[in-house]
Structure 1
Amino acid sequence: MRWLVLYTALLIGANAGFGPAFAGEIDWQAARDGGLAKLAPTDPTPVPATGFTDPEGGTHSLADWRGKVVLLNFWATWCAPCREEMPSLDALQAEMGGEDFEVLAIAAGHNPPPAVRKFLDEEGITHLPVHLDPRQQLAREMGVMGMPVTVLIDRDGNEIARLIGGADWSSEAAKELVRQATAP
């Protein structure tokens, strides 16, 4: 009888809506139910070391963000769902970006810097720096076949989830996802 009471208490506690059972654990189903329906957790997979650039000619790699949780978004100026989604990525960066978390948006493919700047200005994007993958080398290595694609990367530089298509990244479900991913 004692075991039944203990088991029942554990079961109720685990399902009481308090989020994940352990710090740093992500409640994927709650994220999907909360509006990120296409979010798919992946086995932790190291991200490639492939470089990308900025408009000033600087080179970067995802290793530059190691130690932070990164929401990596591949987008393009010609992509209608990207235009719809970009303001929510900007809002998420404005609210939650910092030492532990960053939204990293990379324009993949033929996106000349003036076209990128025009796109960002038209959409009022002010919190996302411009990064470019003009030959889609990083995008290809990460299996990106269309846009937008957003990849959640843990502090150790591993892809842990992917969402193909657009999403509202300023939603409470997205913010809770970030809180869970950055929890100690």
Structure 2
Amino acid sequence: MISPNPSGGAVLRPLDVLRTDDVNSVITLFGHYLSEEFERTKEWPDGTPVGATLFTTVMEVEGDVIGFASVDVALNAVELVYVAPAYRRRGIASAVLGEWRRQCPRALCAKAPVSPTGRRLMDSLGIPEAPRSAEDLTEIERAHTEAYAYVAAQCGHKRGHPGRPCKRCCQKHLERASVSAVMMYVNAVRAGKLALT
């Protein structure tokens, strides 16, 4: 169990997929993450907040979920950490990762690629970046190609690069992707098809 109030005034606890507020908050925050990363990199973002091998923690301030973090327990690797902009630079993400490092029986690493901000955080905590396998990279590239192709087929604006949809259509798709990614996992857990990590 994670300490209830390690830093920054946040309460840290496991994501509860039976709590509608938790699920909706993670969907919203994941959508913000996807949007921010797409804006920053102009590429399809990697990572997901939930999954069969992921342990996900939510961060609360005064009852509001203001962030989440997920670790792949099979690889002992940080999958994703996101804190809402208004709550950044308070030590909340550092506290979560520090607690995970204390509790994990093996050394914690971060799944590549890591954003520049994430890299600074991981470096400050001594968490190395684990390179992706060739199979992972191939799967990521396939997923990105399919996403762009799907959105491009839906995009009626046809601005810029002919093989890429416009920014507005990409952002709309990322909003839908945040709902889809979280709800597929939540529905599988609620239906008993997937055990909680």
- Normalising by structure 2, report the TM-score: 0.28
Higher relative contact order (CA 8 A, sep 6+): 1
Which structure has more helix as a fraction of its residues?
A: 2
Q: Which of structures 1 and 2 has the bigger CA Rg?
A: 1
- Normalising by structure 1, report the TM-score: 0.29
